[in-house]
Amino acid sequence: MGYPDQRFDVNLSILFTELPLLERPAAAAAAGFTAVELWWPWTETPTPPQAELDALKKALDDAGTELVGLNFYAGQLPGPDRGALSVPGTESDRFRANIEVAAAFAAATGCKALNALYGNRIDGVDPAVQDELALENLVLAARAADRIGAVLLIETLNAPESPRYPLVSAPAGIEVVDRINAATGLGNAKFLMDLYHLSMNGEDLSQVITAYAGRTGHVQIADNPGRGAPGTGSLPLEQLLDELAEAGYDGRVGLEYKPGDRSSAESVGWLPAAARAAR
């Protein structure tokens, strides 16, 4: 099979960041991409002015790029934060304030996947209390996503880079997916399978694909070591994506890697043009 048989999108929060946010959709389109995804772009606020939301939608529309994935507010990304929804107090409140804003923006842009980062463990707070708060907030997020016909994605990160983040294995992520679906009865919570993070955790990626491809709502890739473009490390990414397709996954694959010392446009040279433009 191989790369031309996959449908790829590019994450504009890690690639094309040499440009201002509103210029990135056009740059991605110039590089041949028809679909993009984003972390929550306004790291300082869960509720940006409507004019800023409208300006981003216009930039996406003008470029002819489809927004296929959007994170809920997750604090400072990139940075020390790894989500807000399980952090008692101000951060949890900010996540809740963001739910309807993010869902409305997703609805306006046609985005059908909303990603909720779980949040770091906090000193002095019982993990069980954080998990209870997380489930409350994830239920709210799942219901908001369902109202716009979207899925709610749950992502695992990796322990070396995110030591305080509790979801650092595929089974841990799937367990949260199951808890959300049991609580809502909606069935719209799905696993976000990030092959880079899972490889950093030392998991058997082929085994993860076999076990969880049917529960997966989105896939993200970067090579390991280094979190660079495919071919800069040792992960057999083409083989793994073939395994995903053979296991029945037919969704998009998001490019979520660092371009290194090249421009973002140069860093996607490994990917055939047909795979960048697949609808």
State the virtual CA torsion across 68, 74, 77, 81 in degrees, nearest 10.
-150
For residue 6, the model assigns a pLDDT of 85
Q: Name the active-site residue from 91, 155, 203, 243.
A: 155
Across the range 71-96, mean pLDDT stands at 94
Least confident of 32-46, 68-82, 138-152: 68-82
Q: Does residue 206 carry a pLDDT above 80? A: yes
For residue 2, the model assigns a pLDDT of 58
Is residue 37 flagged as an active site residue? no
Q: Any idea what the CATH number is for the domain that residue 71 is in?
A: 3.20.20.150
Query: What whole-number percentage of the chain has pLDDT above 90?
Result: 94
What average pLDDT does the chain have? 96
Q: Does residue 1 carry a pLDDT above 50? A: no
For residue 167, the model assigns a pLDDT of 98
Nearest to 84 by CA among 116, 126, 124, 108: 116
Check: pTM over 0.85? Answer yes or no. yes
For residues 250 and 6, what is the distance between their CA atoms, to the nearest angstrom?
A: 8
Q: Does residue 178 carry a pLDDT above 70? A: yes
Q: What is the DSSP letter of 115?
A: E
Exposure string (b/e) for 53-68, b if CB count within 10 Å is 16 or more?
A: beebeebbeebebbbb
The count of other CB atoms within 10 Å of the CB of residue 207 is: 10
CA torsion sign for 211, 73, 43, 277 is positive
Please count the CA atoms within 13 angstroms of the CA of 160 that sit on its side-chain side: 11
Is residue 100 flagged as an active site residue? no
Supply the range of the domain harboring residue 81. 3-276
For residues 249 and 247, what is the distance between their CA atoms, to the nearest angstrom?
A: 6
Q: Does residue 5 carry a pLDDT above 90? A: no
Q: Name the active-site residue from 37, 66, 243, 256.
A: 256
133 Rama sector, left if φ>0, alpha if ψ -120 to 50, beta otherwise: alpha
For residues 110 and 69, what is the distance between their CA atoms, to the nearest angstrom?
A: 10
**Number of domains observed in the structure of the chain:** 1
